Amino acid sequence: MLALEVGPIGVEVGRGTPVGLLEEDDRVSRKHVRIRRTKGEWLITDLDSRNGTFVDGVQLTAEETFDGEPLIRIGRSLLWAVEDIVSFRDLKGPGAESGPVLGGRLQNAWSEIALASRSGSTLSVRGESGAGKELAARAFHEARFGTGGKAPFVAVNCAAIPEGLAERLLFGAQRGAFSGANADAEGYVQAAHKGTLFLDEIAELDPLVQAKLLRVLESREVLPLGSTKPRAVEIAVCVASHKNLRDEVARGRFREDLYFRLGRPEVQLPPLRERLDELPWLIQRELLLVDAQLSPSVTFIETCALRAWPGNVRELLHEVRRAAHRALAGAAPHDTATLVEPQHLSSEAGLVIVGLPSETPSGRPKPARTPTDEEIQKALEDNQGNVRGTARALGIHRNQLRRWLEKRAPVSGSGESE
């Protein structure tokens, strides 16, 4: 990946210009597209190219102005327009062959994690579901203890602990502490001794358990259930939540004293939709895990990049695997290479579920659906009529929103600003 600086004068991008960027893409014209950045907006012009210029999946017919971070497709190549390229300038690739895929923005977060590991024994990670909070916790652990695997890393999903069992599971229990306790039981805290305890979704812990956790952190001792003798423990603690812990404190749902002990330093993980530079590597790596003959088409990557992915990397990789198997099912018996195309991606993959509860009474996820007129109208108003921003907020393609606008009389806030 190469980073190209764009200013008010702009740059003309084509095959061989700038040198080293697109020489191998024979579908790119010698002078293909002009890109300018001025007054906080992008001005993008197709230069009568042979195969056209597409922005967010829509072909340009004239110079157009865009805000945000438009995705530009020329030939078989994708360009991502971002406000600041500092974090991308020296990026040789978003991750090693083994280990997490790290784009420019995620590398910034990893640098903050490394700094936190040197300055203290606690870290708070905040991010959406599926954004990689456990990977961040493991990065914190490895920065403190190395990668040799001698120091324990104990991961606990606090939201999945059955009601009433948190104290026993976290702090252990002595034999005879309760009916059925026939032997001493080690808790997660003791298991993490001389290593890292990772408490995911810590905001879900019962307040009484939060109080006992604070005592462990302050005293460096743990008292198992039913015991009168505390045991010394030495642990680093990483906590994570998709909620804002400061807001949870204000609402009385999280202890203020525990927040001040664990809530700082905090690292915010950007969602996948803000880390599009990672997409090609994430997709290619997942396809190779399914079958070495698979590779993504540029339009498959583009389609993935234009979806919201509320489940972030976890959801993306699941849907890429499904697309891979669809592509293999439709391949000829003796094919040695198979392209994964947009039609192999399920229609609901990566879309925001609008206006529905997250689960049915049976506990199964609700399917994605087309938003209602009222939901679209409200999203337009919330985004000041910005079509691209509204489409992303709703988890639909910009073309779908344009068709909706064309079929209806003009409504307040529906001017098609980009």
Q: Which is more confidently placed, 395 or 40?
A: 40
410 Cβ contact partners less than 8 Å away, ≥ 6 residues apart: none
In a domain, 354, yes or no: no
My answer on whether 77 and 216 are in the same domain is no
CATH code for the domain in which residue 298 is found: 1.10.8.60
For the sheet containing 71-74, what is the strand order?
58-59, 53-55, 71-74, 77-80
My answer on whether 172 and 317 are in the same domain is no
In a domain, 124, yes or no: yes
Residue 399's pLDDT is 66
Number of folded domains that form the chain? 4
Q: What is the mean pLDDT of residues 141-146?
A: 91
In a domain, 213, yes or no: yes
CATH code for the domain in which residue 46 is found: 2.60.200.20
What is the C-alpha to C-alpha distance for residues 42 and 39, in angstroms, rounded to an integer?
A: 8
- Among 10-19, 105-114, 117-126, 127-136, whose mean pLDDT is lowest? 10-19
pLDDT at 51 over 90: yes
My answer on whether 152 and 205 are in the same domain is yes
My answer on whether 242 and 309 are in the same domain is no
Identify which of 76, 15, 84, 53 has the alpha carbon closest to the alpha carbon of residue 301: 76
User: Which of 88, 119, 150 is the last residue before a domain boundary?
Assistant: 88
My answer on whether 250 and 282 are in the same domain is no
My answer on whether 125 and 192 are in the same domain is yes
Q: Which of 142-146, 226-230, 334-338 has the highest mean pLDDT?
A: 142-146
Distance spanning both ends of the chain, measured CA to CA: 27
Residue 415's pLDDT is 46
In a domain, 240, yes or no: yes
Where residue 356 falls among pLDDT bands split at 50, 70, 90? Answer: very low
My answer on whether 186 and 331 are in the same domain is no
* 72-91 confidence digits (pLDDT tens): 999 999 999 988 776 776 66
Instruction: Tell me the pLDDT of the chain averaged across its residues.
Output: 83
Q: What is the mean pLDDT of residues 356-368?
A: 39
Other beta carbons within 10 Å of 147: 11
How many angstroms separate the Cα of 239 from the Cα of each of 108, 118, 134, 204, 246? 19, 17, 9, 11, 14
CATH code for the domain in which residue 393 is found: 1.10.10
My answer on whether 158 and 235 are in the same domain is yes
103 Cβ contact partners less than 8 Å away, ≥ 6 residues apart: 88, 91, 94, 275, 276, 277, 278
Q: Which is more confidently placed, 186 or 236?
A: 236
Q: Which is more confidently placed, 403 or 96?
A: 403
Residue 358's pLDDT is 41
Fill in the DSSP letter of residue 158.
G
In a domain, 48, yes or no: yes
The pTM of the full predicted model, rounded to 2 decimals, is 0.76
In a domain, 73, yes or no: yes
User: Which of 296, 314, 344 is the last residue before a domain boundary?
Assistant: 344
Q: Which is more confidently placed, 178 or 2?
A: 2
Where residue 408 falls among pLDDT bands split at 50, 70, 90? Answer: low
In a domain, 359, yes or no: no
Asked if 197 and 146 touch (Cβ cutoff 8 Å), the reply is no
My answer on whether 178 and 317 are in the same domain is no
My answer on whether 249 and 138 are in the same domain is yes
* SS3 state at 240: strand
* 218-243 confidence digits (pLDDT tens): 999 988 877 778 889 999 999 999 88
In a domain, 291, yes or no: yes
My answer on whether 300 and 263 are in the same domain is no
Residue 89's pLDDT is 67
User: Which of 35, 63, 88 is the last residue before a domain boundary?
Assistant: 88
CA 96 to chain centre: 18
Residue 313's pLDDT is 93
| Domain range for 388 | 365-418
My answer on whether 323 and 381 are in the same domain is no
Identify which of 211, 212, 214, 235 has the alpha carbon closest to the alpha carbon of residue 225: 212
193 Cβ contact partners less than 8 Å away, ≥ 6 residues apart: 152, 233, 234, 235
Residue 202's pLDDT is 93
Residue 256's pLDDT is 93
